[in-house]
Amino acid sequence: MTMNGLLTESLCLTQSVRHTCVLACGIRLQVSGARFWKLLQQLCVIPENFFRHCFVHNLCPLLFMCRSGKNVTPPELPADARRQLNTACDRALVDILQLLCVRTVVAIGKYTESRVRSLLHDAAITDVDVAVIMHPSPANPAANKAWSDIALTQLTQAGLLQYLQ
């Protein structure tokens, strides 16, 4: 699973997006990513509105899959492998946050939120706010009912819509 995202200057988004390359069949977009990008397309209308303040960064830019092709998320990895992966991914995210002078991270999902809060604390970064929106995974029953509405409410409550329009 690849997850996360950043918004430059004022905002940082964290999200899950996965494309699975299937030989002879093309590319399949994961439901989570399709929901996420559809909401952003509705809010931003044109890409320039999104990228004026926003940047999507994958907290874990690696894709792990079992033999059947099922996505293996970082929490499902063996503890030692997960620690090593988190160390490398956290360092990269800290570097990006500092390089882009990010002010707000919007974590998409609780796992990403916990990783971001932990790394900000460990890196003694105190000038970056963290907001969270529900993960759009089809494994989440609430996301299957009204993910866009819930995410829109969460973005509104966090005062972030101004950066997306």
Provide the residue ranges of all domains of the chain, joining segments of one domain with +. Answer: 2-163
Architecture per CATH, domain 2-163, reads as 3-Layer(aba) Sandwich (3.40)
- Closest by alpha carbon to 134, among 157, 107, 160? 107
Task: Give dist(CA 154, CA 61) in Å, integer.
Answer: 25
pLDDT of residue 29: 58
With a cut of 50, list the residues of the chain below it in pLDDT.
1-27
What pLDDT is recorded for position 12?
A: 47
What was the pLDDT predicted at 74? Answer: 77
Q: Give the pLDDT score at 101.
A: 87
